[in-house]
Structure 1
């Protein structure tokens, strides 16, 4: 079961700007490193993992990406949510052939492999709810997004 502690007001980022997915992953990783959620090794690990196992998803309401990496790079589990200023192209999860212009990023930093599986499963329930995903995408209020995500994940 995902708990409220994974979603943190300080890690809900609105109108986040990056030039491409690697710039984005680097910037989000730097925030996590600075706030002591992850080890410095997290940044390179999440970028390298994205190259091999892409995380873009076409979903109704808003396209998403869920970059993540191995538990050994995580100090304290969390999810960074970034609503992008401009969509960023990720490769589609699975075959990695199709480009996905992702608007919402859910970067996972999970230090327990079993919890990562359940967290991904809970996120998929958000991604399959067009109305909820649209509400998250349309909101410009950190507390509203925090509420929507927390309620959906619990």
Structure 2
């Protein structure tokens, strides 16, 4: 099995997820990745710090998205955690870091190989630029549905 196939796991897809704030969300999702062995203890701090310097909110059409991620040094095994939020969580916009983005959909990346992070991000961007695909992820009722939509592009 190649690394791309291993990026998506049903136990890392969360539908109707609740979070009080960006920090609360990032800490809770990082904890899940830590408990399952995907990331090191340093991942949470790494992702929180990186989000301050390089915000990851995207003002995409229809559904607003955030793609929090951090350096490969904090990762044990590559994966993508997906959270479909019940309530929006405010991130700063990628690129300018000024505008707020009230995100409904989170793609938290843990990428072990720094060389594949750019490739994974660019594949993810092709999903994010497709309104219908974003809506189908957001409206998915099961974890398997989310994986089916994502795997069309990521694999």
- Same fold at TM > 0.5: yes
- Tell me, in whole angstroms, the C-alpha distance in 2 between the residues paired with 1:3 and 1:44: 26
Q: For residue 61 of structure 1, report the CA deviation from its aligned partner.
A: 2.7
Which residue number corresponds to residue 152 of structure 1?
Answer: 153
For 1:93-108, list aligned pairs within 5 A. Answer: 93-108=94-109
Which residue number corresponds to residue 115 of structure 2?
Answer: 114
Q: For residue 152 of structure 1, report the CA deviation from its aligned partner.
A: 2.0
Which residue number corresponds to residue 11 of structure 1?
Answer: 12
- Tell me, in whole angstroms, the C-alpha distance in 2 between the residues paired with 1:107 and 1:2: 16
Contiguous gaps of at least 5 residues in structure 1 = none
Secondary structure of 1:116's aligned partner: helix
Q: Could you list the per-position Cα deviations for residues 20-60 of structure 1 after superposition, in whole angstroms to 9, with x for gaps in the alignment?
A: 00000000000000000000000011001101110000111
When normalised by structure 1's length, the TM-score is 0.97
- Tell me, in whole angstroms, the C-alpha distance in 1 between the residues paired with 2:118 and 2:70: 12
When normalised by structure 2's length, the TM-score is 0.96
- Tell me, in whole angstroms, the C-alpha distance in 2 between the residues paired with 1:118 and 1:17: 30
Q: Could you list the per-position Cα deviations for residues 87-138 of structure 1 after superposition, in whole angstroms to 9, with x for gaps in the alignment?
A: 1000000110000000000000001111000000000000011111111111
1:133 to 2:130 alignment: no
Contiguous gaps of at least 5 residues in structure 2 = none
Q: Is the 8 A contact 1:2 1:118 kept in 2?
A: no
Task: Give the RMSD, CA atoms, in angstroms.
Answer: 1.1
Secondary structure of 1:10's aligned partner: helix
Q: For residue 153 of structure 1, report the CA deviation from its aligned partner.
A: 1.4
Which residue number corresponds to residue 124 of structure 2?
Answer: 123
Q: Is the 8 A contact 1:66 1:108 kept in 2?
A: yes
Which residue number corresponds to residue 78 of structure 1?
Answer: 79
- Tell me, in whole angstroms, the C-alpha distance in 2 between the residues paired with 1:2 and 1:127: 21
Which residue number corresponds to residue 48 of structure 1?
Answer: 49
Q: For residue 2 of structure 1, report the CA deviation from its aligned partner.
A: 6.6
- How many equivalent residue pairs? 154
